[in-house]
A and B are shown apart, each in its own frame.
Chain A
């Protein structure tokens, strides 16, 4: 057995079923060994998307997705994908080939110091020097990626290490990392404090972030909120913590969120932030969430607590465990009046759009699309105006809403949707992007065709980089600079070049029929929606 065989054996032991990647000489031993395995290999068309696709797998399975690329440019191309996963706390294992270890540091062909380059975007990284270390390293990498605050781990393997013989292969059953022991269970003293504050509170509110989804705590949060009738808002990464039409859910906060959700945050007297970073897009003025209220901050990463806002009650631990513990506590809080107030906010502060009937109204379209999608369908939003409309109007029931709220990487939706579809082949997966973000990942249409990954793609087309155009509209008084997308391909012809069926929706007439035709059958399809270029989110 050689090092490359050992890596494959380790992946099998971790239950990995798919590897996304792009080979090159430095990773060839690995791609040769994987032929002997049942692990599916998918040739992505650019390395960044290998990481995004692995991120899609992670979000659906709750296990780290895996990508494997070559040294030098392969490794540097994957960095944006890794950084995206890091910002969104998505567990990922990224294996990179590396030049011969004897040549490290001598600037030979396709050498890049990838462990150095990704330092600030990974939870941890390894440069493997001895093939016998592979089982321990892979075991640790999966453990680190998927525990505590989740995130990407990179394993850089020089080609001579991949080819070196492994004298004794045994995949370790457990990990012993002396310095890495994330706190999972919440401190009971702190939990009791939260309960005492909840008893006193008249206007309690839970603000759920992506950590709730990463911790698989949706059910626990929902049942706790229902038991005590505590209303819930979410950050962008937290969308989907409870069904969007749940009577206690008041949608997304932040400068791109709902005014009534922000109002709820400001008016609450007890705010439980859980699995949220309190970053600028969600909480523009952190002092607003500490002023005149009790702030409880729950996070598995102690460094998040107090980073942007100093909480009254810090509570370190995994959201699932903490809500389980909280639910065991007996107390009562009366929130009838508060919920009525919030409903009132929702009526009076709802966004009033005046869509031009000559175009597809993205808000109404997304509502109707998500109503007509299968109940457990997976919706992947890209980045730009399309993302904000998706966050504002998508209806999530038993399905999943995925987007990159932390890094905001354009082009995320198509590869992430492919990863999701590979992980859950029976579920309906729809990627919704703009014409800018679509063109950042349109090379993956080939991957979808080659590997038969039937993802549905919506392109909201306005011939602009809409989000930036909107910013220039407000900030530079319509002095547009480098936001015009003229020269974009005819999507109908493009689709037919790939043999992918195409539909176009030009206005809201025939919206429902078109959506039904688009969603019918488990095949790839591209739906172009012509939207108002001057529309604002």
Chain B
């Protein structure tokens, strides 16, 4: 089982996400995360999919996605040639006396405290998955009340990896 990150540039139509999700469901592919957002050109949406499977499955995933009419471009974002970021928000239980230790951990990770309530804190952290996982590990001992992860967004490094979509 391995993981791959795919970058898809798709036509921004209603239903495109459901077509992609339907493909994964129909063929029984595993998806770890999927994020979508409009690109600089509002007609195009960038979708980042983290999928897992053996080599044959991952190859099929790429080919099947490429076949979808709305998918204009698909490529693998290889870890050494790309940057990945994920955003996480964690609400931890924190009475006044616990706050300092939590804030200290957050500082080391350059995380931000974005909400303080009498009994809890919300921490925002952006980074790659390893950093986020390490941060969550360090919070052990504190009660995590709620947690929201966005899933990975990524871009290839440099200008060579830029994909131009001609929309005319």
Contacts and interface: CB of A to CB of B under 8 A. Distances in A.
Interface in A410-446: none
A116 interface: yes
Interface in A103-121: 104-106, 113, 116
B28 A105 contact: yes
Contacts of A105: 26-29
A interface: dominant SS = loop
B28 A116 contact: no
Interface residues of B, number: 6
Contacts of B29: 105
B79 interface: no
A158 to B, nearest CB: 11
A104 B28 CA distance: 7
B interface: dominant SS = helix
B65 to A, nearest CB: 14
Nearest to A113: B26
Interface string A214-239: 00000000000000000000000000
B22 interface: yes
Contacts of A106: 27
Nearest to A105: B27
Nearest to B25: A116
Contacts of A113: 22, 25-26
Interface in B4-29: 22, 25-29
A31 B138 CA distance: 57
A202 B46 CA distance: 60
A113 B27 CA distance: 8
A270 B26 CA distance: 49
Interface string B93-110: 000000000000000000
Contacts of B25: 113, 116
A104 B24 CA distance: 12
A76 to B, nearest CB: 14
Interface in B38-56: none
B44 to A, nearest CB: 26
Given A105-B27, A106-B27, 11 more contacts: A104-B27, A104-B28, A105-B26, A105-B28, A105-B29, A113-B22, A113-B25, A113-B26, A116-B22, A116-B25, A116-B26
8 contacts: A104-B28, A105-B26, A105-B27, A105-B28, A106-B27, A113-B25, A113-B26, A116-B25
